[in-house]
Amino acid sequence: MATTNSNNSSSPSHSLGSYLYQRQLDGNKYTSGRLLVDAGSSQFPGAAVLAVGGARRGGAGYINYLGREPAPTDLVLRAYPDVVPLSDDTEIGADLFDAILIGPGSPRITALPSKSRLVIDGGALALAMQPHPAEQIRILTPHEGEIRKLGFDPADRKSCALQAAAQLRAVLLLKGRNSIVATPQEIIFIDEISGPELSTAGTGDVLAGLIASMIASHRPNTLTHAAEITAHAVEIFSAAAHVAVGSRAPLVATDLLDAIPMLLARGETSL
């Protein structure tokens, strides 16, 4: 796979499946990571299904879905009986979760949790402008339209990603052609294989779920480690898109939910 790190050298070849958390022989569903997904709304109920679908393929052993509204909750539980729902009055800032995904499909939220690792997407990105605890690990996943709304100019994508990461004290994944993963100090990764096939509704929801699941299972405690995991998730996601397009076209977001496990099962290191 063609990837680029901060010094523009090619990354070493690894089995893409090795990027997932390697489950322990004596482990259980909790040792593999517990993830809470807060996604979907009456306006965008399908985003919940796509985000949870991506999360189910990222390695987390236990996935909860926060049921704020009936329509997305019903869709998620019909599609994924292994996902455990939580009621809307659950205290999502509690130390129950190794990571929380919040924002795909614009769930009704007015504040972000102050605890746990957060993957912030979609409708929750505006809330990331507010101050947060210095020790909290945050991963933001805007596309160019969303980064503009946050006040950053993506004309120079590298500079934009670095500036946003520094100002927001977070890992910044600037999605789009040649997606960039940055920390406040450096660019960790530039995706060189993704193509226009991913420019379709819902693919970002799948990616957000995949990232959050990998964050929950690996439990990074530094921004650099979280950025590396995010980069690995983007690699898997982009490679899975090639697998999906190879068997059907045009690609739609749900194709990725089948392509990701197919890709990982092959044990491939490159396209």
Instruction: Kindly report, residue by residue over 62-74, the tens digit of the pLDDT.
Output: 999 999 999 999 9
- Domain assignment present for 8: no
- Greater confidence, 15 or 208? 208
What's the CATH code of the domain at 74? 3.40.1190.20
Number of domains composing the chain: 1
Sheet containing 34-38: order of strands: 3-4, 187-191, 180-182, 171-174, 138-140, 117-120, 99-102, 34-38, 62-67, 84-87
Q: What is the pLDDT of residues 224-240, one digit of tens each?
A: 999 999 999 999 999 99
Domain membership flag for residue 79: yes
Assess if residue 7 is contained within a domain. Answer: no
Give domain status of residue 151, yes or no: yes
Closest Cα to residue 35, out of 72, 68, 60?
60
Q: Which phi and psi (to 5°) does residue 243 adopt?
A: -60, -45
Q: Residue 60: which residues within 8 A CB-CB, separation 6 or more?
A: 32, 33, 34, 35, 98, 99, 212, 213, 214, 216, 217
The pLDDT > 90 percentage for the chain reads 79
Residue 50 lies in a domain: yes
Q: Is residue 221 part of a domain?
A: yes
The residue to which tokens 């569903």 are assigned = 29
Question: Residue 164: which domain range?
Answer: 29-260
- Give pTM, 2 decimals: 0.93
Q: What is the pLDDT of residue 156?
A: 97
Q: Which residues neighbour 11 within 8 Å (Cβ) at sequence distance 6 or greater? A: 1, 3, 4, 5, 189
In a domain, 16, yes or no: no
